[in-house]
Structure 1
């Protein structure tokens, strides 16, 4: 996915745009016939509203406000997750680059996964429109 980001208006109605990057160490977007969900929760700590909520099957599920210490700990944990992901990706890339036994048959066995169809993204966007 070239641009893996979900942007929506804060669920409290303050009008702020919330940006959730979809990465291995970021948010996950899932879409089923029951609706769109984002994981983990969304904490709008830099907004005056300080909203904290989950998006589960097109529904906003409100969560508790966090203290400044909880926010700091959460941000530190997120940073550790990003660094761990980068280290693993770099290690895997180095391992792949140093491998000398990559045969043609192994290459033929690789699975190519095509990106989701435009229809899928169109449906996701339609579901997210209810926040406008």
Structure 2
């Protein structure tokens, strides 16, 4: 998926059970995806967000 911050980076998220780290993808009856856990880009743009029911929820910077 493309990083939602707009930097243009392609994020590769592993979904297969054997991978570590990995994400769980669920899709609701409306076709909206949810990822668990959050996505944290630790270099470059440093985005940190949740994808819940097709919407990006940005994590706060503390």
TM-score bracket for the superposition, by shorter chain length? 0.7 to 0.9
**1:36 aligned to 29, 33, 37, which one?**
33
Q: Deviations over 1:25-72 (max 9, x none)?
A: 5100000124100110000112x2100000000000000348xxxxxx
| Aligned positions of 1:1-132 closer than 5 A | 8-24=1-17, 25=20, 26-34=22-30, 35-46=32-43, 48-65=44-61
Higher fraction of helix: 1
Report the TM-score when normalising by structure 2.
Answer: 0.82
Equivalent residue pairs, number: 58
RMSD after superposition: 1.6
| Higher-Rg member (1/2) | 1
Higher fraction of strand: 2
Structure 2: gaps spanning 5 or more residues? none
Structure 1: gaps spanning 5 or more residues? 1-7, 67-132
Kindly report structure 1 stretches of 4+ aligned residues shifted beyond 3 Å. Answer: none
